[in-house]
């Protein structure tokens, strides 16, 4: 089965896009411009966790768009105030800086920790991913992403994700350790508790900040509102974006009390950030996702999905937490993960993605049903 790629000569080729143009979405389903229906187990890379076009999010956006869309950060708006309260109350209790993406949330975190400890070094982990802007890219120690864009921002040190490596790297010169609790873009690598505890203790010993990048793990993806809630460690700050806006672009840096007084007027900013429409969408997404029943179901369905994935041929490893999962395929001369993903899309109408030559990642909306999980696994089985 073939699908002609839509022509888009004026899009810079920063993405190797699939030859499909989507037109409509509802819940766990997408429809392309030919009317074909797809089961979406990627949800815009963990963005549409409430499902596509969730009625509560759509209603909030419609209502707010007709009332007030933008005034800038020189003024207050009620959606922004309420969202800051909600973010702080549900996590670290300090202050919130709004921005428009995950990379920007990490940029804010990097500026914050540098200001808290002037000139300090930032320790990051191998296989980490923090975004594509210069500061976030400098925190993303992957040769293929960094090398063409040198020189990068100085003052970053990358170490393996082990307790010993972190203890050795964190010194009096360290401003922060910035890390994910589950590394998403490198194939859903769950960071072991002993590594998180070592990072917490090392930061405490030298007065450095521990920052968790929860851009992918946050907003319920791992089965608790924040990924750190399933670990023995509480960070000094966290960053969030992706699912926060229920499908609209918004990011945030959330601090604990200690870091809440570091930024002063003029230190950082963003014209659009935390605008009323995206903040209203995020409040609606919070109403859907910050729900103990839904979160318990995310944990249970995640276990179910991984148990089903274990049964598939060619699958040699299954990893994940909550509804953030990945499988590794055997290096047996069979089709690569990118090939399987393309055929899943075109032949099985199942949307998943490959994070590497042998790894397929599954990030279904958190409102997915058990039947849809079984259906997705059956569609994958056809190709393995
Ligand atoms: C996606 C992601 C980012 C980057 O977010 P953008 O919105 O694409 O800038 C940063 N950190 C993690 C962990 C991510 O998964």
The pLDDT tens digits for 311-327 are 999 999 999 999 999 99
Please provide the average confidence, as pLDDT, over all residues in the chain.
97
Give the bridge partners for 324, in sequence order.
Answer: 321
With a cut of 90, say whether residue 224 has pLDDT above it. Answer: yes
CATH of the domain at 347: 3.90.1150.10
Over residues 152-168, the mean pLDDT reads 98
Give the model's confidence band at 6: pLDDT under 50 very low, under 70 low, under 90 confident, else very high.
confident
User: Do both 213 and 336 map to the same domain?
Assistant: no
- By C-alpha distance, which of 32, 326, 76 is closest to 182? 326
- By C-alpha distance, which of 339, 355, 356, 358 is closest to 347? 339
pLDDT digits (tens, 9 = 90+) for 253-308: 999 999 999 999 999 999 999 999 999 999 999 999 999 999 999 999 999 999 99
**45 falls within a domain:** yes
CATH of the domain at 142: 3.40.640.10
Q: Is the CB of 102 under 6 A from ligand 1?
A: yes
Give the domain-ending residue among 255, 289, 323.
289
pLDDT digits (tens, 9 = 90+) for 328-378: 999 999 999 999 999 999 999 999 999 999 999 999 999 999 999 999 999
pLDDT recorded at residue 3: 58
User: Do both 243 and 316 map to the same domain?
Assistant: no
272 CA from centroid of ligand 1 (Å):
18
How many structural domains is the chain composed of? 2
User: Do both 136 and 115 map to the same domain?
Assistant: yes
- Of 15, 142, 185, the residue with max ligand 1 atoms within 8 A of its CB, to mutate for a pocket test, comes to 185
With a cut of 70, say whether residue 2 has pLDDT above it. Answer: no
User: Do both 47 and 77 map to the same domain?
Assistant: no
pLDDT digits (tens, 9 = 90+) for 228-252: 999 999 999 999 999 999 999 999 9
Q: Is the CB of 125 under 6 A from ligand 1?
A: no
**43 falls within a domain:** yes
Burial class (CB in 10 A: 0-12, 13-18, 19+), 244: buried
CA distance 226 to 238: 9
Nearest ligand 1 atom to alpha carbon 242:
7
Contact 22, 30 (CB under 8 A): yes
**pTM for this entry:** 0.98
User: Do both 276 and 366 map to the same domain?
Assistant: no
The 3-state DSSP class for residue 22 equals strand
With a cut of 80, say whether residue 4 has pLDDT above it. Answer: no
Q: Are strands 251-255 and 96-99 parallel, antiparallel or unpaired?
A: antiparallel
User: Do both 37 and 140 map to the same domain?
Assistant: no
User: Do both 80 and 146 map to the same domain?
Assistant: yes
Contact 137, 131 (CB under 8 A): yes
User: Do both 122 and 243 map to the same domain?
Assistant: yes
User: Do both 336 and 235 map to the same domain?
Assistant: no
Range of the domain at 324: 22-54+312-383
Nearest ligand 1 atom to alpha carbon 133:
9
Q: Is the CB of 212 under 6 A from ligand 1?
A: no
For CA atoms 143, 145, 146, 148, the dihedral sign is positive
Share of the chain above pLDDT 90, in %: 98
With a cut of 70, say whether residue 85 has pLDDT above it. Answer: yes
pLDDT recorded at residue 5: 78
């Amino acid at each position: 089965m073939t699908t002609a790629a839509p022509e888009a000569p004026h899009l810079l080729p920063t993405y190797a896009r699939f030859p499909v143009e989507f037109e409509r979405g509802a819940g766990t389903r997408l429809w392309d411009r030919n009317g074909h229906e797809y089961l979406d187990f990627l949800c815009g890379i963990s963005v549409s966790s409430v499902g596509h076009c969730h009625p509560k999010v759509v209603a909030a956006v419609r209502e707010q768009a007709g009332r007030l869309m933008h005034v800038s950060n020189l003024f207050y708006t009620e959606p922004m105030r309420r969202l800051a309260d909600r973010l702080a109350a549900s996590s670290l209790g300090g202050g919130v800086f709004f921005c428009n993406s995950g990379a920007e949330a990490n940029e804010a975190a990097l500026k914050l920790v540098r200001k808290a400890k002037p000139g300090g070094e930032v320790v990051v982990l191998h296989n980490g991913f923090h975004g594509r802007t210069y500061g976030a890219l400098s925190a993303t120690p992957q040769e293929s992403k960094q090398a063409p864009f040198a020189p990068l921002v100085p003052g970053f040190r990358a170490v393996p994700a082990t307790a010993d490596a972190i203890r050795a790297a964190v010194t009096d010169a360290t401003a922060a350790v910035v890390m994910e609790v589950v590394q998403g873009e490198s194939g859903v690598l769950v960071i072991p508790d002993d590594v998180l505890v070592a990072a917490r203790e090392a930061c405490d010993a030298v007065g450095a900040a521990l920052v968790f990048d929860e851009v992918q793990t946050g907003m319920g993806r791992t089965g608790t509102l924040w990924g750190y809630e399933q670990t023995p460690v509480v960070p000094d700050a966290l960053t969030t974006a992706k699912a926060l806006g229920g499908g609209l672009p918004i990011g945030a840096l959330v601090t604990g009390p200690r870091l809440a007084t570091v930024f002063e007027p003029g230190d950082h900013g963003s014209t659009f950030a935390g605008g009323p429409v995206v903040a209203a969408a995020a409040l609606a997404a919070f109403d859907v996702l910050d729900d103990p029943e839904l979160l318990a179901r995310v944990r249970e369905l995640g276990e179910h999905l991984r148990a089903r994935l274990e049964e598939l041929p060619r699958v040699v490893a299954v990893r994940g937490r909550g509804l953030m999962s990945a499988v590794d395929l055997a290096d047996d001369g069979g089709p690569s993960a990118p090939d399987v993903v393309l055929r899943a899309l075109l032949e099985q109408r199942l949307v998943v993605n490959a994070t590497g030559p042998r790894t397929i990642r599954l990030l279904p909306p958190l409102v997915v049903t058990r039947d849809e999980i079984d259906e997705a696994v059956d569609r994958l089985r056809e190709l393995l």
